[in-house]
Structures are given as structure tokens and as C-alpha cells.
Amino acid sequence: MIPDNATVPDRPDRRDLSERSVAALFALAIEQETHFGARDKWPQPAWYAYQELQYRGTAEVFEAACRALGADDPTVRGVGADVLAQLGYPQGGTFVAEAVDALVKRARDEEHPGVLEAIAFALGHRASPAGRDTLFSLARHTSPEIRYAVATGLWAVAIKSAAGDDDDPEVVAVHLELMRDPDPQVRNWATFGLGTQLTADTAEIRAALTDRLPDPDEETREAAVCGLANRRDEAAFQPLLEYLRSGSAGVGCIQAAEAWGDARFIDVLTRVRDPQPDVAPAAEAAIPDGSAPRGLT
């Protein structure tokens, strides 16, 4: 039986779940997926079974998830992909290579959009370059939900050099494509991924970020400003200053100003903390060393 969301606390006692078998937890997860449908309509308790399975991260859970991934019912296959997405997260991830291999193999024959969406999210979470080709393919899917799932984690599969550089031409190229997507959520996450999550810096990347400055979507515009600011590009200075002056600047803008390290932001960063106490620590951290802006202690 699915608990009533109104009667379940935000941080419940999880002894009941910890005592359930893997099979019982999968059954509950499948019941929840069937009952609630779209993830954005799920109440909080619907995640508890998934979280318990992922928390355990054992061979038993991995094997059960792989069996679910091969089921006839697409709902069950989606549950299998969701469990594999963050299996063993408290331990930094368990069965990562094996999970990516299973997800990639499933994607080759999968036709159900919901399952492909779950696979795309999972491959981003697993953050293994072994999943890159599958994400590249799914980035061109006709479903905006699938392209969105790709955009949220594409940056994580970039191949890094021995020095830690993530200037991966193929990953960059797919980001550039998704930044021109007709769906605003896809553009936003692709712009954020390339602009903030990756450090690659070329004239083409800067031009693509600049192209997004007048984007009709507010979040995409902000992601573009932050991406250019991370690269200390003067095209971002005035827009970033305006965001900081607006009284509603997000932590991303503040961190972009910190990355830039320009003294021209000192006064406005000082003023950010009063109307926005929730971002005050980030604003204080963004003040360049050796500066003593007014009122800052």
C-alpha cells in the first residue's frame, strides 16, 4: 500500500524500508511508478523505495535491477534504469561499469520513450565515458523529454585528459547542438552544462554562449551569462552586474562573479547579502581576497 503523502513526514523513520527484502522494495517501486506516472507528479514517499535500493548498492540489488531492465513491461524496465542510476551512492557508486554496460545494451533495442528517458538520466548520473555514444544518439531523439534527460548529464561523460582537462570535442559538439534546441529546458541545461560544468574554452563556445544571451528563456539567458563570466568574457560583465543588482540573483551568478574575481563586483556583492540572506555566504565568499567592502565582516 502506498502511504498518503499528507501523513508521511519529510524525514521518516526508515526502519520499515530497511527491513524489507529487495524483491519487496522493487514491488513497491513498481507500484509507485504505475500509480503516480509522471515523476513531476510524484509525492515524496514515492522515492523512498528507490532510495533504499540505491542506498544498499549490493550485488543482489544490481542483479534485480538488471532483471527489471529486461522485463516485458516498460514500467518495470524504467524502474530498473532508475535504480541503476545511482546505485551505491553513499559509497561513491557501486557496479558503475556493469550498470553502464547494462543500460547501453538496453538502449540499443529500447523503443519506449519513458524507458529511454530513464536510461539517459541514468547514464548521466553514472558519469562514465562508456555511456557517451548512447547519449550522443539520444540527443537527436524526437522526444524533448529524452533530449532534456541527455542535456542534464551530458557534461559528466566527457573524457578528461591526464591533466584533468575536459575539452572533449564530441561532448562539446553535442552541447552546442542542444543549445539550439527548440525546447527551453533542453537549451537551459545544455547551456549550463557547457558553460558551468565544463571548462573547455574556445571561440566557438564563447560565440554559442553569446548567442544565448538574448534567449527568450530567462534561465537559459542566466546560464549563458554565467558561462561567459566563468571564462572572464567582457560580453557577460554588464548582464552579470544587472543580475547581481536585481535583488534576485541566484548562487550561480554569485559563483560566476567569484570565478571572474573582478574588483568591479565588490560593491554589488556586498549589497546582495542584505535582501538575499539565503545567498549571503556565497556572496561573502565571492569577494576577492584582500578586499574590505563596506559592512562586510
Which amino acid is residue 222, in one-letter code? E
Cα 297 from Cα 295, distance rounded (Å)? 6
Give tens-digit pLDDT for 108-162: 999 999 999 999 999 999 999 999 999 999 999 999 999 999 999 999 999 988 8
The Cβ of residue 191 has, within 10 Å, a number of other Cβ atoms equal to: 30
Residue 167, pLDDT score: 87
Reported confidence tier of residue 293, pLDDT bands at 50, 70, 90: very low
231-246: string of b/e by CB count within 10 Å (b at 16+)? bebebbbebbbebbee
Domain boundaries, the chain: 20-125, 236-297
**What angle, rounded to 10 degrees, do the helices at 74-85 and 48-56 form?**
50
Residue 4, pLDDT score: 39
Query: What pTM was computed for the model?
Result: 0.88
Give the pLDDT mean for 180-198.
97
Cα 148 from Cα 190, distance rounded (Å)? 8
Give the pLDDT mean for 260-275.
82
Query: Mean pLDDT score of the chain, rounded to an integer?
Result: 87
Give tens-digit pLDDT for 48-100: 788 889 999 999 999 999 999 999 999 999 999 999 999 999 889 999 999 99
Give the pLDDT mean for 192-199.
96
Write out the DSSP string of 88-124. TGGGT-SSHHHHHHHHHHHHHH---HHHHHHHHHHHH
Residue 165, pLDDT score: 83
